[in-house]
Structures are given as structure tokens and as C-alpha cells.
A and B are shown apart, each in its own frame.
Chain A
């Protein structure tokens, strides 16, 4: 897949940072507002896919390898399971929310109706891990498909 025209590249380059910032906002505020790791990860992955389509998979293949993406996805999955296993160590059961109610980071309990980023216990940590996993997984799927199609165009 070759890149598109200069107009598309410029507009994609301008809108890409906003899409990524919005996706990261949705991930970071997953325990307060609508959204979470999966939704924000999908937003960031679609922004990356926009760049991939605008600039072409040949250009993208020089910037990132599919090996790195699968590594990133494994890091997200291992982080998610690690937080869940810490629940056994500190809280007694798998997936126990052991941070909430303590003085640690994210340990607060919000007042009724108020929003405080420093709440939620293990939920923000799991949101970050799952967000990383979804970014790498969804963008990896699109990237590998684009690579395979461009390889076929070369041989044909």
C-alpha cells in the first residue's frame, strides 16, 4: 500500500496528536467517565491506523516492526494478570481490589457525585494495562494485514 496525496498526509498529521490525546484521556479517566481501557485503546489504535493508511505500509514498516507490537501486547497482558495476582497476595482472592481504602496511589474513595482522579484502587492500573494491550493488538492486526497486502502487490 503506497502513501496517499500530500493533502491527506498533512491532515492526518495534524489530527493524529488530538486523536491520541483523546484516547489517552479516555483510558486515564476510565474509572470516572464513560470509557475505559478497551474504548480508549480502540481510539488510539484507529488514530495509528489513520497514519498507516495515509503514509502507506511501506513507510510504516521502516518505523515499527510487528515484533515490537506483539511484545507490547504481551507486556499489557502480563501487567493485567500481575495486578490480578497481587490481589491474592494482599487481598486474599484473585482480582481483589486491595488498593482501595488505603493511602497508596489511587487509594481514595470518592464522595457522592464528586470526581477525583485519585480513586479506584486497582481499576486505573488495569485500565492502563488493558489499554496498552488493545492499542498494540488492534493496530497490530491492521498493520499485519496491510503488510501482507502490500507484499502481494509487489509480487503481482
Chain B
């Protein structure tokens, strides 16, 4: 149980990102929070494939010994590229919203009940 302390980094990243998404009112800062959550999830995926004392699964001038699992690393690569695509789309939509409303504050955006 005490050996699981490294996972605290994943928990910390996800909580930091989630609190930014919940408490911030600026859309750009919300997107930064979402990308921090993505980083936490990517770190978790990488950590799942790590074995004690292992090296990267690359045989070029490899020192030998135990190797980490390549499949979680490959899926993390997929996840990073999809994260870039999603971030690009989110930023485009935010530029669109900024032109429409003239502000990035979600409280001043839309809704007549303010």
C-alpha cells in the first residue's frame, strides 16, 4: 500500500485540473485545466506499464534485463495525439465564442438572467 505513493502525482494532476475546470470563469483557463487532466491520465497510463527496474522497450543498444510493457506506451501516444486534436477544436470554438460575445468570461456569456 505504501508502495503506491507515486500514484499521488496522478491524483494531484487530476485534482488540480478538475478544480481549475470547476472554479475558473475564464474559458482559456478551463481549457488549461482540461489539458492538465489529460496529462494526469497520460501519466497514469504510462505508469500502468512500468515494471520494477525496467528499461524502455527499445533494443538499440539496450542494456538488457526487464523491459516495460510497450502497449500502454503506444496507447498513450494515441491519447496524446487525440488530446492535441481536441485542444485545437476547443480553442477554435473559444475564438468563435469570443467573437460572438466579446468576452471570455462564462458568467457574462449568454443567458439573460445575469
> Is B88's beta carbon under 8 Å from chain A?
yes
Q: Do the beta carbons of A38 and B91 come within 8 Å of each other?
A: no
Residue pairs across A and B with Cβ atoms less than 8 A apart, 11 shown, are A33-B60, A34-B56, A34-B58, A36-B77, A38-B80, A112-B59, A113-B60, A115-B60, A134-B81, A145-B91, A148-B95
Size bracket, chain A contacts: 10 to 19
- How many Å lie between the Cα of A145 and that of B94 in the bound state? 11
Q: Do the beta carbons of B95 and A138 come within 8 Å of each other?
A: no
- How many Å lie between the Cα of A145 and that of B96 in the bound state? 11
- A32: which of B60, B80, B95 is its contact (CB, 8 Å)? B60
B28 CB to nearest chain A CB (Å): 13
> Would you call the interface of chain B mostly helix, strand, loop, or mixed?
helix
Q: Do the beta carbons of A149 and B95 come within 8 Å of each other?
A: yes
**Which residues on B are within 8 Å of A, measured CB to CB?**
56, 58-62, 77, 80-81, 84, 88, 91-92, 95, 99
Residues of A within 8 A of B92 (CB): 145
A46 CB to nearest chain B CB (Å): 11
Q: Do the beta carbons of B56 and A38 come within 8 Å of each other?
A: no
Given A32-B60, A113-B62, A115-B60, A138-B91 contact (CB < 8 Å): no
A51 CB to nearest chain B CB (Å): 19
Residues of B within 8 A of A152 (CB): 99
B52 CB to nearest chain A CB (Å): 21
